[in-house]
Amino acid sequence: MTQEEMAARLGVTAPAVNKWEKGNALPDVALLAPIARLLGITTDELLSFKDELTDEEINRYLSELQKNLECKDFHEVFLSVKKKIEKYPNCETLIWQSADSLFHAFIRQENYEKAVQYLDYFSLENPERKRKKALVDSKTGKRTEAYRACEELIYTGYQHIQMTLNDLRILYMEDEEHEMAKKLVEVSSAVASAFEMGRYNEVCFGLDVAVWERDAAWTAQLMREILDSVDKIGDFAKSKLYQHMIMKPVDPDFSIRLRQELLKSLGDEIFHYMQGNEDWEKLCQEAAKADLLTFQRNTPRLTSRRK
């Protein structure tokens, strides 16, 4: 179809079509649907509309971006990335990976003020935002803030890992995968040790698996270790891994209450299989003594009066 034919069918001039093809002008919005019909395509195809880019397209673009950052004028590359992000405002992967590339480019240039601006492309919940802010702080004299942010990321990362391990362990238990359930207990214990979370957190994850398996010896061993370490449940706050974090100390009353609840639970129905286990019977005797001592402390003494 020639430009003249297209112009005649759309009721416009041939020079107008010529300008469209050369990119010197754009058709009126009212002409978009007629043009699409004339060409036998959708308006989305006509406008090259895509809500998202494929992973392959994103990777290809990012590879090209890295090359451009090395050999082209930085301002020119910066503007092209900005236009690309504006063109696909809903493509999260494109946005944060492009922003990541520009962030590190600004860091290399020691333009920290500009680098910080690109943190806005990362959501507040994204740990990458906090990690990058710590990097900027470390370069701008805010060393304490940088230390604290990194330690907080380690701490929250530990919690996320343990929650995920717990979910995975429950899945294996639901599918009667005993070997993998016990494997996940070992991993959780090793993670707690690596992150210096204290003995209580190293041993507490196995109890529900021991109960699930009706393993009397393992149950008694774990309950003993949990009870022995419950008063040190907040010892992770003393670890040098978290020395710059501001942590509230664990209330001593919390440890006392937790220990009392654990001792009371020894008689629960879920532990019925523990009857006759020597170690468990000792724990129950200790629990009974603890209840008696608590009762004596909370009972006012009666004294006789002399007449």
Q: Quick one: CATH architecture of 55-140?
A: Alpha Horseshoe (1.25)
Token pair, residue 61, equals 């673009």
* Local structure of 302: helix, strand or coil: coil
Please say if the pLDDT value at position 23 is more than 50.
Answer: yes
Helix (H, G, I), strand (E, B) or coil at 267: coil
Question: Which residue in this structure is represented by tokens 């608590």?
Answer: 294
Please give the residue that has the higher pLDDT: either 307 or 89: 89
Place of tokens 């170690």: 279
How remote is the C-alpha of 89 from its chain's centroid? 23
Q: Is the pLDDT of residue 295 over 50?
A: no
Quick one: pLDDT at residue 221? 95
Question: Over 196-242, what HEC string results?
Answer: CCCHHHHHHHHHHHHHHHCCHHHHHHHHHHHHHHHHHCCHHHHCHHH
pLDDT of residue 164: 97
Confidence at 145, pLDDT banded by 50, 70, 90 = very high
Please report the pLDDT score of residue 290 as a whole number.
67
Residue of higher predicted confidence among 260 and 197: 197
Side chain identity, residue 248: K
CA–CA–CA angle 20, 23, 27 (5° rounding): 35
What are the extents of the domains in the chain?
3-46, 55-140, 148-296
pLDDT at residue 58 above 90? no
Distance of CA 75 to the CA centre of its chain: 34
The letter for the amino acid at 75 is H
Q: What percent of the chain is modeled with pLDDT above 70?
A: 93
CA nearest to 100, candidates 118, 114, 85, 82:
118
For residues 270 and 216, the answer to whether their CB atoms sit within 8 Å is no
- Tens of pLDDT, residue by residue over 99-142, are 888 888 889 889 999 889 888 888 888 899 999 999 999 999 99
